[in-house]
């Protein structure tokens, strides 16, 4: 569908446009649309995620990587579902066999990153960098030989990590001169992570990554299926977006899951404020003008 509206990034900012629109945040869209939960939020049971090919393929490949005690990368644009895939991976791995550690504090220096890692895995977090690395290696190694549980580190938002911090992964995954594959690491981040991983000083880390997975945005039909899925999950019994509203949602959000969530959530509020029973294309255009670029 051709739109007179420019795509997301070119729209006016919230402060530029807010005054032209009614405030809708106080409106209870659950009561208005007869839902039992808020749709399009990040809080949903991970086993009820929307299962679409690119994400499920990435998930299967990363799971295979981890099951073979190797490490991998998940690289995709902001809001495209990386963290959802990581959550699904943790959910799918048998709890009795894997100890998963999720780390997101990636804007730290080498020593602070190791301290945070030590805290999450429960080993001594005091001392200098070399001591911390040794402690982590010993702790991880002991947990493997002791109870047979395999450790998995999930490092999210790794595009914010300094190259020298990413380089720690080489040391952390180096056990007994590489003769034993002990620790798996999944590094997830936005596409600029690629240029960091291509740096010569990170060749040893990048070379350890057995699989590089990516995600892509929804296509038009996938987006329609996603919208239906999220609304059904929230208890909707009939479609709440007209076909043309769905087309507009696709044009404005480009099929990016987070942009879709943000626009759809806002449009539901706008439609509810008008006491409408469904969201129309115009509600999406209004929504677009009210959300941040
Ligand atoms: N498979 C899915 N099922 C249901 N919702 C999804 C799915 N994938 C993405 N989403 C929705 O899109 C939102 C953004 O996804 P997510 O946070 O995983 O993106 P991201 O790639 O990690 O973003 P960032 O780069 O900003 O960290 C989620 O909060 C969720 O609501
Ligand atoms: Mg994320």
What's the average model confidence in pLDDT over 104-123? 83
Q: Is residue 28 part of a domain?
A: yes
Looking at the fold, whether 145 and 223 belong to one and the same domain comes out as no
Atom 23 of ligand 1: nearest residue by CA position: 79
Residue with CA at minimum distance from ligand 1 atom 13: 258
Reading the block at residue 122, the tokens are 């429960």
Give, using CA atoms, the residue closest to atom 8 of ligand 1: 81
Which band of pLDDT confidence, cut at 50, 70 and 90, is reported for residue 181? low
Whether ligand 1 lies within 6 angstroms of the CB of 203 is answered as no
CA 156 to ligand 1: nearest atom: 27
Please give the distance, rounded to the nearest whole angstrom, from the Cα atom of residue 47 to the centre of ligand 1. Answer: 14
Q: Are 195 and 141 in contact (CB under 8 A)?
A: no
Residue 292: what pLDDT? Answer: 65
Residues 85 and 27 in one domain: no
Same domain, 33 and 64: no
Residue nearest to atom 31 of ligand 1 (CA): 42
> Do 113 and 205 share a structural domain?
yes
Do 29 and 89 share a domain, yes or no?
Answer: no
Residue 38 lies in a domain: yes
Using the 3D structure, point to which of 214, 240, 262 is the last residue of a domain: 214
| 1 in a structural domain | no
Same domain, 208 and 224: no
Using the predicted structure, report yes or no on whether residue 4 has a pLDDT greater than 50: no
> Which residue's CA lies nearest to atom 30 of ligand 1?
42
Domain that holds residue 141: 53-214
Q: Which of 109-123, 198-212, 254-268 is the least confident region? A: 109-123
Task: Give yes or no for residue 16 having a pLDDT over 80.
Answer: no
Domain tally, the chain: 2
Domain co-membership, 148 together with 130: yes
What distance in Å separates the CA atoms of residue 48 and residue 202, rounded to the nearest whole number? 37
* 183, 224: one domain: no
Domain harbouring 266, CATH code: 1.10.8.60
Q: 257 in ligand 1 pocket by Cβ < 6 Å?
A: yes
Tell me the CA–centroid distance for residue 137 and ligand 1, in Å: 32
Ligand 1 contacts CB of residue 190 (under 6 A): yes
- Residue 6's pLDDT is what? 34
Identify the residue whose C-alpha is closest to ligand 1 atom 15: 81
Least confidently predicted of 111-120, 206-215, 228-237: 111-120
50 Cβ below 6 A of ligand 1 = yes
Q: Is 80 in the pocket of ligand 1 (CB under 6 A)?
A: yes
Tokens 């002791």 map to which residue? 146
Domain-located, residue 173: yes
Does 189 reside within a domain?
yes
Calpha distance 39→53 (Å, rounded): 22
Least confident of 30-44, 84-98, 146-160, 221-235: 146-160
Ligand 1 atom closest to 190 (CA): 25
* Ligand with smallest separation from the Cα of 160: 1
Task: Give yes or no: residues 141 and 202 share one domain.
Answer: yes
CATH number of the domain residue 202 falls in:
3.40.50.300
Q: Any idea which residue has 């938002």 for tokens?
A: 157
User: Tell me: the pLDDT tens digits for 212-250?
Assistant: 999 999 999 999 999 999 999 999 999 999 999 999 999
Residue nearest to atom 16 of ligand 1 (CA): 81
Q: Flag whether 160 is in a domain.
A: yes
Give the model's pLDDT for residue 177. 44
Among residues 199, 214, 229, the one where a domain terminates is: 214
* Residue 117, domain member (yes or no): yes
Tokens of 195: 């240029």
What pLDDT does 293 receive?
Answer: 65
Q: What is the model's pLDDT at position 136?
A: 84
Do 173 and 79 share a domain, yes or no?
yes
Q: What is the average pLDDT across 166-194?
A: 77
DSSP states along 219-278: -HHHHHHHHHHHHHHTT-SS--B-HHHHHHHHHHHTT-HHHHHHHHHHHHHHHHHTT-SS
Given a cut of 90, whether residue 60 has pLDDT beyond it is: yes
CA gap 165, 156 in Å, rounded: 13
For residue 200, what are the CA distances in angstroms to 14, 73, 197, 206, 213?
A: 42, 17, 8, 10, 21
- Is there a single domain that holds both residue 158 and residue 237? no
- Residues ≥6 apart with Cβ < 8 Å to 33: 236, 240, 268, 272, 277
pLDDT the model gives residue 9: 33
Residues 74 and 204 in one domain: yes
Q: Which atom of ligand 1 is nearest to the CA of 157?
A: 27
In a domain, 2, yes or no: no
Contact (CB, 8 A) for 151 and 121:
yes
Looking at 214, 235, 252, the residue that finishes a domain is 214
User: Atom of ligand 1 at shortest distance to CA of 42?
Assistant: 29
């Amino acid at each position: 569908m051709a739109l007179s509206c420019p795509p997301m990034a070119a729209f006016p900012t919230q402060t530029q446009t807010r005054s032209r629109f009614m405030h809708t945040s106080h409106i209870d869209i659950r009561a208005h649309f007869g839902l039992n939960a808020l749709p399009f939020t990040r809080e949903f049971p991970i086993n009820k995620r929307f299962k679409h090919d690119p994400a499920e393929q990435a998930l299967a490949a990363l799971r295979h990587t981890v099951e073979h005690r190797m490490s991998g990368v998940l690289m995709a644009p902001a809001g495209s579902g990386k963290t959802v895939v990581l959550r699904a991976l943790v959910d799918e791995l048998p709890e009795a066999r894997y100890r998963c550690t999720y780390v997101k504090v990636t804007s730290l220096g080498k020593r602070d990153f190791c301290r945070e890692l030590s805290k999450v895995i429960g080993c001594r977090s005091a001392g200098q960098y070399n001591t911390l690395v040794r402690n982590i290696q010993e702790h991880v190694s002991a947990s493997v030989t002791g109870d047979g549980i395999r450790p998995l580190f999930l490092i999210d938002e790794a595009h914010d990590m300094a190259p020298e911090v990413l380089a720690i992964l080489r040391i952390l995954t180096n056990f007994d001169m590489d003769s034993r594959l002990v620790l798996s690491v999944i590094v997830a981040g936005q596409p600029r992570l690629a240029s960091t991983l291509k740096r010569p000083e990170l060749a040893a880390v990048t070379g350890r990554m057995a699989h590089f997975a990516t995600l892509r945005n929804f296509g038009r039909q996938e987006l329609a299926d996603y919208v239906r899925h999220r609304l059904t999950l929230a208890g909707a019994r009939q479609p709440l977006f007209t076909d043309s509203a769905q087309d507009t949602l696709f044009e404005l959000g480009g099929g990016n899951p987070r942009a879709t969530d943000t626009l759809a959530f806002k449009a539901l509020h706008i439609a509810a404020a008008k006491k409408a029973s469904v969201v129309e294309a115009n509600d999406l255009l209004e929504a677009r003008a009210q959300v941040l670029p």
